[in-house]
Amino acid sequence: MEKSVLTVVIVEDESESLQLLESLIISMGGIKVTGSTSNPDEAAGLIVSLNPDLVFLDVKMPGKNGFEVLDELINLKSVNPFIVFTTAHDEFAVRAFEYAAFDYLLKPIDPERLSATIARYRENKKDAGQNAGLLLDIHKKLIYRSSSGIIIIDPADIVYIEADGNYSLFKLCNGRTETITLLLGKVAGQLPSDKFFRISRTYIINLHFLQKINSHKRQCILYCNGTEFRCVISHDNIKILMNVLKMDI
């Protein structure tokens, strides 16, 4: 079966880098670069007018960075392209995934890495209607650095979070535990307050999975996928939590 032609827009402030990326993309076949610009002020308008499948968006540009261009698109709410950020600076990776980027490529761009990005887009294109909405759903997932790289966590998958010194342990519904180099207090500030509650200095729980409060043993009992979890709650927080739950009824 013949592959459908993908349409691409490139936003890159350096003309030499723009031409090189365009050549790499075209050489892969089945892709048409319908527009490009080195002016970040023109980028949002160009993307809206052409409505491409993929946008290769440089992060660090003079006057306006790639995130600000993406903010313009989000405010316009008229197109939802898949975004591939390009940059020579890997410190922007976490923020890129906060913006629901489809991918993140480091310069100089490796042709094999670019080819893998294009292939992954083609594989996921059947879900494009669903995935394109990610551009308007930023900040719903938690993105952290860990010793092994970047971890993306959906708050809905968190059963509880436990403090462990300078680390926070995320216990997830699938039984996995992710260790993040971030204090529990910092994590608490990133969670939706109507769904999570800090029951002690050691634990934050997801109220969705809370089934029982054992006031005698000072335990919150949570269930997820048939598994029971017990977290110690401080004496003072038992009454506060009960009041919170009454408010939600």
Q: Which domains does the chain have, with CATH numbers?
A: 6-136 (3.40.50.2300), 153-248 (2.40.50.1020)
What is the pLDDT, as a whole number, of residue 139? 43
What is the pLDDT, as a whole number, of residue 171? 96
- Please name the helix (run of DSSP H) or strand (run of DSSP E) that holds residue 2, with its range, or none: none
What is the pLDDT, as a whole number, of residue 93? 67
What is the pLDDT, as a whole number, of residue 248? 44
- Residue whose entry in the numeric block shows the structure tokens 């003309």: 15
Residue 71 burial class via C-beta count within 10 angstroms: exposed 0-12, middle 13-18, buried 19 and up = middle
DSSP helix/strand/coil, 151: strand
Give all strands of the β-sheet with 210-214 in edge-to-edge order: 210-214, 219-224, 227-232
Closest CA to 53 of 11, 8, 86: 8
Q: Could you say which residues of the chain have pLDDT below 50?
A: 1-2, 128-139, 247-249
> Is the pTM here over 0.85, yes or no?
no
What is the pLDDT, as a whole number, of residue 133? 45
Q: What is the DSSP letter of 172?
A: E
